[in-house]
Amino acid sequence: GEDVEQSLFLSVREGDSSVINCTYTDSSSTYLYWYKQEPGAGLQLLTYIFSNMDMKQDQRLTVLLNKKDKHLSLRIADTQTGDSAIYFCADLDSSYKLIFGSGTRLLVRP
Amino acid sequence: DTGVSQDPRHKITKRGQNVTFRCDPISEHNRLYWYRQTLGQGPEFLTYFQNEAQLEKSRLLSDRFSAERPKGSFSTLEIQRTEQGDSAMYLCASSFPISSGEPTDTQYFGPGTRLTVL
């Protein structure tokens, strides 16, 4: 089946940029999503990118997609302590279900 | 629009008992999904409905699991004869395939039901 992989942990200083990376295997992917999960909570949709786009910017968030390498990244500018959470990359497969990575835990140090 | 709601938020049960969870999707969303998330992992797909029809079930959904969406609105997920391995967060999401300026099938998640089987 399709697979999505992410690095497990990222630590940054408050005010710096964070870059979270993701790779996927689905050749027929149409949309890719980023979700944020805080402890004990559900998933909050952050942003998405269509597979024929290279980049999408949404306020402090920038998504970059390299379709050839099947690599997706999420950049958070001016990272704040409130951004500390787990970030999930997800691929919408051809039968409308989301395939998630294991999540990247972002820790923002004051 | 109040978002996706789930009830209960937490459930503790003894092994062998039956449990039932409820999900209320965003109104007018006609697709509803169930996912399961274990500690340290991303959510895994269990099943989904379009209106009242259950269109796909994962192999993770053993015979002890059953989901319904009788009137195409709320959904229930029942686990019979619970096992300790069923301990997880059960997440519900909803979407609607007709575009309203968003990608089709952008899924919005509820807060989840955390199940602990003792």
pLDDT at B101 exceeding the cut of 70: no
Cα–Cα distances in Å, from B53 out to A97, B50, B70, B71?
Answer: 15, 5, 9, 10
Q: Record the tokens describing residue A14, joined without a space.
A: 């408050």
| 3-state helix, strand and coil shares in percent for chain A, rounded to the nearest 5 | 5, 55, 40
Among A6, A43, A45, A95, the strongest candidate for a mutation testing the B interface, having the largest count of B CBs within 10 A, is A43
- The pair of structure tokens assigned to A95 is 């039968």
Each residue's pLDDT tens digit, A56-102:
999 999 999 999 999 999 999 999 999 999 999 999 988 889 999 99
Distance to chain A for B59, nearest Cα, Å: 12
Q: If pLDDT is split at 50, 70 and 90, which confidence band does B98 have?
A: low
42-71 in B: which are within 8 Å (CB) of A? 42-45, 48, 56
Q: Which of 43-62 (A) contact B at CB < 8 A? A: 43-45, 48, 50
pLDDT at residue B39 tops 80: yes
Q: Is the Cβ pair B42, A45 closer than 8 Å?
A: no
Q: For residue B99, what pLDDT band results from cuts at 50, 70 and 90?
A: low
pLDDT, average across residues B39-52: 94
- How far is the C-alpha of A37 from the C-alpha of A99, rounded, in Å? 16
Give contacts of B108 with chain A, Cβ < 8 Å.
Answer: 45
pLDDT tens digits, residue range A25-48? 988 888 999 999 998 889 999 999
Confidence of residue B102 (pLDDT cuts 50, 70, 90): low
User: Is pLDDT above 70 for A108?
Assistant: yes
Q: What's the helix, strand, coil split of chain B in %, to 5?
A: 5, 45, 50
Residue type, B48: Y
Q: How confident is the model at residue A96, as a pLDDT?
A: 85
Nearest-Cα distance to chain B for A1, in Å, is 12
Q: For residues B55-68, give the mean pLDDT.
A: 92
B107 vs B84: CA distance, rounded Å: 29
- B19 forms bridges with which residues in the sheet? B79
Task: Name every chain A residue with its beta carbon within 8 A of the beta carbon of B107.
Answer: 33, 45, 98
